[in-house]
Structure 1
C-alpha cells in the first residue's frame, strides 16, 4: 500500500529554529516567509531541553508564542518530537539510554542520536515527552502534522548497548522459537558455534579477524529495522490517540531500516531530506558521473514508498559541519534546480533547510536561505522565484505521479546481506549505478522498486524489470518473476542471482537457483575478478562486435540447458574464452536475460539498443545528455520536466507545440534551457 501526502497544490516551506534566535526576530522572519510564498514551517525536533528542562517539568511557553505568531501569519506548522537529542540531565541520570560501539564503548553526550532504541527507560521518557507535547499542542490551529524523531538511523545504524543485546535475544526467540531452529538458520554447527542456551546469543561482537557469523549479521540488520520501527511506533500510537486529526510522518532513508514497512505500519506518508551535493562531493571517479543528478536515484526510492511525499529538508545552501561535509555554495540556479528535481520525482511539499544559518554550534557552516547577516541574497531570490512559480503552477502538478515503463528492482535482504558479502554486494552498487546513469543519459524515466509483497498486476505496469544481483531469492519470488515474464514482461538478471535462500545459506542446486529453469541456463563455473586478473571483454553475437574490459567484478560462465536459449554475447579471454556471458530466452509472451557479470555502462547501452528501449518523448523532443527528462501525469494531463544539470545552456528541439507552464507560453522549434535551468512542458 503506497501512502501519499494529500495536497491540492505544491507547497513550499522551511525548517525554523526559534529557540536559537531572539524573539525580536520572529515576526520579521514570518512576514518575509509569507512574502516569499512559504506556507509551512517545521519546528521543535531538537528542543527537548526547552520542552522539559528538568525531568517531569515541562515548559511550552516559547513554542506557544511561536505557534501563535505563526498562525497570525497563516503559516502551517509541522511539530517534531525531540527524541533525536536527549538533554544532558537525561543522559547523566540514565546512562543506560546511551548507544555503544561494537567494542562495548559507550557513546557520550555532546552530539545527537547517541541513544539506543532498546532502553526501556528511554522508551518511557520518549513516550512521556511525546504525550505531554501531544496533549498540549493537539488543539493549536497552526499545527497540521508531526514528524517523529529526526532521521532515524542517521549518524549510526548499529546498536550494541546492553539493552540492545537483550532486545535482540528476545527478537531471536520470537523469530525462531527454539534453539534448534536458530542453530539451523545460522548454521552454527560450523566452527562449533552451536548455542545451548538463549543467554549465549548476542548481537555481533568483536571476533578474531573481525568476521562474525554471516547469518547472524543478516539477522542483526533485520532486528535493527524491526527495533527502529517499534521505537517509532511508541510515539506514533500516542499521537494517533491524542491528535488523530494531525498527520504523522518522519524523515529519512537511512541504513538498516525498512522504510516501506515503517510507512505502511504507522505513517501517513514518507518524508525525505534531499541534499544533492552529497552525490557531488562523495561522487565517484567514473567517466561522466551523474554528480548531483544522481540524487534522482535516491528520490526514486522515496517515490516507491510514497508516490507523493514531503521533502522535509531541501538543500538551500553550502553545507557542512565544522569538521566534515565540506560542500561549496550552490551555483546560481542550482537551488531552484534541486527543488524541481524533488518535485519531478514526487515531492508535493518541499521544506528548505534552513531559514537562517546558525551562528553557533556544529552546523555553523550549514547554510540556509538567509546568511548570518539576515540581509537579501541570491538564495532568497531563487527561493522567492520558486515560491511564485508554485503559486502559479502548483494546482496543476500536485497529485500527479511519476511515469516510468522500466524499473530497477532491489530488496532489503540483499541490501543488508550485500553489506557484508563481498561476492555480491559490490556488484549491485556497480550495476545499479550503470543502469541508472545510462537510462538518465538516454532520457528514459525509471522507477526503483523494492520487491516485497507485490502482486503480478503491480509488476506488470513495467515493461522491463532490472534485478541485477539478487543473491537471496525465495521460491515465491522466483515464481512471481516467472509469471511476470510469461505474461509479457522483460526481466534482466545478473551474476550471482539466486544462489542463497532467505537465511543466507547457499543452495545445494545449480545456480541461478530458483530461476535457473526460467532462464534455461546454469552456471557451469564462476570466478571473481580481482587484483591483477584480466577483465574479459564481450563479443556480441548479433554483429560480432567486440568490446574490451567490460565483464567486470565477477564472471559467471554460463551453460545453455534449453534449445530456445540464445547466446547474445561471449567472453573474449581467460580460460573461459568463447563461453556464454549473456543469454536471452523467450518465455511465454516475454523474455528473460541473464548476464554473468556486473553491468558496465557500455553493456547497458548495447542492451538498450538490442531491446529497442528508447525515450518515451523521442519522437517529438530532442535534448542533450545534460538534461534529465521525467514525466508527472494524471488522467487529464502530462507534464514533462526538463532539468539542465550543466553549467552550459542546453539547446533543445520541440517538434510538437507544447505549453511551457512555468511561463505559460506556447513553445515549438529550437530553444534553450539556461545553465541549471528548468522547463516544464504540458
Structure 2
C-alpha cells in the first residue's frame, strides 16, 4: 500500500472548476478567478494537457505561463490541483520516439492527433514521463496554492487495449513472473486445446487476430489483468516521484475505466480516488430493460467509485451538454438538473467537486463539450445555478465532510468476471441485465445499496456489515471466494445468486463438478440442465409461492434440490422444464442463500425484496414516490444522519413527511404532503 501524503480534505466543502489558462488570453484570467470566487468556488484543476507548455522541446522546461496563472489563483484564494500532463505526449516526443505509440490488435499503430495515443510500457516514454513529473513536482512542491496532484487524466479512457511491440515484450516478462515456466502457463491457458502449446517464450504474445476473432479465453483474461497492471505501474511511477518530491501534497487520479483495477491502483498509488460524473450519458445509453432510470442510473456508477474510496473527489461534474465534434450527442441539462447531479454526487460520497469546465472550448475536438460559461463568456442560467449551489455548500457543506454513505445491501462485482464476460457471452451480458434489474428495484423502493468488489483481500468483516449481498452471475468462483461467502451466510448474512454461477476457476477453466461448483453445497442445489433462451424463443413463466407468475429472462438453470434445509420458492411454469425448481432458498448456519435460475428482472428483484422483508430506512418518517432517490450519509459512530431526497422526475412530485423534518438547503420545516419541484433536492438531518 502506498504511503499517504497530506489529507485532501479541508474545513469546508470545496467547489470549483477545471480551468485551462493556456487556452485563453491572459487578460481573461483575473476576471475568471474573480467570478469563480463570487460563485463560491475555491479550487481549480489545471495543466493535465499542457506538456508542450512545460517542455516545448526536449529537455527545455518553462514554467512562466503556469507560474502566473497559479500565482493569480492564489491571490483569489483558490486551491490548485495540478495534473501531470502525460495523457497527451507532445508532437516532438511522438515524432522522435514513435515506439511510444499504442497499436491495435492487428498491429496498426495509432498516430499523433488526439489523446491517449501512447502505451504504458515503452521504456523511453516512462523515462520522459518521470522527467516531466519530477520537474513539475520540484518546481511546485512549495507553492502555497498547490494542494494536490492528479496523475495523468482518465487512465484507459478512449482505448483500454494495448498491442504495441513494447506491450508484447513486457507481457512475456509479466507472465514469466506470474507462472515461472512455460509448463505452468500452458496449463493455465489450456494450451493443449487446438494445439496452442508453447515451447519457447518468444512464441507468446498478447492476443492477436484469429480467423473467427475468438482468441484463447484464458489468454484473453490474463491479457486484461496485464493491461490493468501496466496502467497501475504507470500511475505508480508518477506517484512515487510525487511522494518523494512533494510529500506535503496529496495524489489522486480520475477514472474509472475498463481493464483497470481501480481498487489496487488506489491502494498502491493514491491518497484519494477521483471520479468524473456525466449523468447525461444515460440519456444516449440508457440502462437495460423497461423503464430506464436514465440520469438516476449514474448513482450506480457513483457507488462503484465509493467502493474504491468511501469519500472521493468528483474531478469533472457535468455542467452542460456533452459532445465531441464526431460523436456523443446529448441534450442540454434542463434548469435544475446540474444542481440535481451535483447533489447526486455528494449524496454518494463526494467531499470535493469540480465542474467540467469553466468555459466551453472554442477550439478542438471538445468544442461541443459545454462548460459553465458559453463561448460568449456572458452570464447564463448554468452560471446562476452554480452560484446557488456555491452559496448552499458554503453554508452547510462542511457538515457533510467525512460522513459516509449508509447501506445494508450490496451488489457484488469482481474484475475477473467483468473482464472474462467481455469475451464469454454465455455469462457476460447477464450481469448488466441483472444489476440493472436489482438497482431499479432497490432505487424505486428507496433501499440504499453499495457496489462492493470481491477481491483476494476481501474479508468477512468487509461483508458482514451488509444484511444482503447480491452476486448476480459470478461464473468465475475461486474456492477461496466460495468459502468466504459460506462464512458470510453462516454468520447471519443473506446471499442471492443467479444462473451461471460458480462453474469456472480463477484461470477461467470449468470445474469438473456439477454447477454451481464450489457454491453447490451452500445453495443446497445442483443444476441438472440449462439452456440459453434463443432469440425466437419465449422466456419461461416462473410461478412464485404466493401466486405471482413472473417471466424469466435470457437464461435458464434447471435446479435440483440436494439439501434437506433447502426450500423451493418458485418453479418454472412453461416449456419442457415446467414444474422444475427456479428459485431455491437454503438455510445455512444463521443465514440464508438464494439461488435463482435465470437473469434478474426488476419484477423478480422486487419479489425477492418482499420475500426478505426489506423496507426503506425512510419508512418511519416519509412516504416517497418512485421518482425520488433516497441516500443517507452519516458520521461513523454518530447518531447524526443526513438524508438526501433527489427528484429525477421532469414533473412535480409529492412527498409525505410523517414527522417534521428541516431541509438544510432552504432552512424550512417539511411536514405533511409537500410538493417537490422537478429536479429539486432536499437535505434533511434525521
Q: Shorter-chain TM-score: which interval?
A: over 0.9
Pair 1:142 & 2:145 matched: yes
Residue 173 (structure 1) aligned to one of 176, 180, 184: 176
Contact 1:9-1:397 within 8 A present in 2 as well: no
Distance in 1, matches of 2:425 and 2:214, equals 12
Partner of 1:612: 613
CA shift, 1:663, in A, is: 1.6
* Residue correspondences, number: 679
Matches within 5 A, 1:273-352: 273-284=276-287, 286-352=289-355
Partner of 2:642: 639
Distance in 1, matches of 2:555 and 2:316, equals 39
CA-to-aligned-CA distance 1:572-609 (integer Å, 9 cap, x gap): 11111110010001111110000011001111111111
Matches within 5 A, 1:95-106: 95-106=98-109
Distance in 1, matches of 2:659 and 2:535, equals 53
Pair 1:503 & 2:503 matched: no
CA shift, 1:5, in A, is: 4.8
CA shift, 1:46, in A, is: 0.2
CA shift, 1:282, in A, is: 1.2
Pair 1:544 & 2:550 matched: no
Pair 1:17 & 2:25 matched: no
Residue 533 (structure 2) aligned to one of 524, 529, 534: 529
Contact 2:572-2:580 within 8 A present in 1 as well: yes
Distance in 1, matches of 2:160 and 2:466, equals 33
Distance in 2, matches of 1:311 and 1:546, equals 43
Distance in 2, matches of 1:48 and 1:206, equals 35
CA shift, 1:667, in A, is: 2.2
Pair 1:391 & 2:394 matched: yes
Residue 220 (structure 2) aligned to one of 217, 220, 224: 217
SS at match of 1:158: coil
CA shift, 1:9, in A, is: 2.7
Distance in 1, matches of 2:212 and 2:617, equals 51
Q: Classify 1:220/1:342 alpha carbon distance in 2 versus 1 (closer, same or farther; 3 Å).
A: same
Contact 1:493-1:593 within 8 A present in 2 as well: yes
Residue 465 (structure 2) aligned to one of 461, 476, 479: 461
Residue 359 (structure 1) aligned to one of 351, 359, 362: 362
CA-to-aligned-CA distance 1:39-88 (integer Å, 9 cap, x gap): 00000000011111000011110000001101111100000000000111
Q: What is the TM-score with the length of structure 2 in the denominator?
A: 0.98
Distance in 2, matches of 1:20 and 1:451, equals 43
CA shift, 1:544, in A, is: 3.2
CA shift, 1:402, in A, is: 0.4
Distance in 1, matches of 2:17 and 2:656, equals 36
Contact 2:8-2:250 within 8 A present in 1 as well: no
Contact 2:287-2:297 within 8 A present in 1 as well: no
Pair 1:442 & 2:467 matched: no
Pair 1:584 & 2:585 matched: yes
Partner of 1:559: 560
CA shift, 1:8, in A, is: 3.1
CA shift, 1:614, in A, is: 1.2
Q: Classify 1:544/1:669 alpha carbon distance in 2 versus 1 (closer, same or farther; 3 Å).
A: closer
Task: Choose 610-619 or 382-391, whichever is displaced more.
Answer: 610-619
Partner of 1:404: 407
CA shift, 1:546, in A, is: 2.0
**Residue segments in structure 2 that go unaligned for 5+ positions in a row:** none
Q: Classify 1:492/1:284 alpha carbon distance in 2 versus 1 (closer, same or farther; 3 Å).
A: closer
Contact 2:8-2:148 within 8 A present in 1 as well: no
Contact 1:8-1:399 within 8 A present in 2 as well: no
Partner of 1:256: 259
Partner of 1:488: 492
CA shift, 1:619, in A, is: 2.2
Contact 2:288-2:433 within 8 A present in 1 as well: no
Distance in 2, matches of 1:395 and 1:285, equals 37
Residue 195 (structure 1) aligned to one of 185, 198, 201: 198
Partner of 1:516: 520
Contact 2:527-2:560 within 8 A present in 1 as well: yes
CA RMSD of aligned residues (A): 1.1
Q: Classify 1:460/1:7 alpha carbon distance in 2 versus 1 (closer, same or farther; 3 Å).
A: farther
Distance in 2, matches of 1:188 and 1:497, equals 25
CA-to-aligned-CA distance 1:288-327 (integer Å, 9 cap, x gap): 1100000000000000111110000000001111111111
Distance in 2, matches of 1:565 and 1:259, equals 38
Partner of 2:672: 669
Partner of 1:27: 30
Contact 1:42-1:78 within 8 A present in 2 as well: yes
Contact 1:357-1:366 within 8 A present in 2 as well: yes
CA shift, 1:636, in A, is: 4.1
Deviating beyond 6 angstroms after TM superposition, the runs of 4 or more aligned structure 1 residues are 1-4
Residue 55 (structure 1) aligned to one of 49, 52, 58: 58
Distance in 1, matches of 2:252 and 2:621, equals 40
SS at match of 1:19: helix
Pair 1:91 & 2:89 matched: no
Distance in 1, matches of 2:525 and 2:328, equals 47
Distance in 1, matches of 2:461 and 2:54, equals 49
Contact 2:289-2:433 within 8 A present in 1 as well: no
SS at match of 1:209: coil
Q: What is the TM-score with the length of structure 1 in the denominator?
A: 0.98
CA shift, 1:223, in A, is: 0.4
Distance in 2, matches of 1:633 and 1:47, equals 39
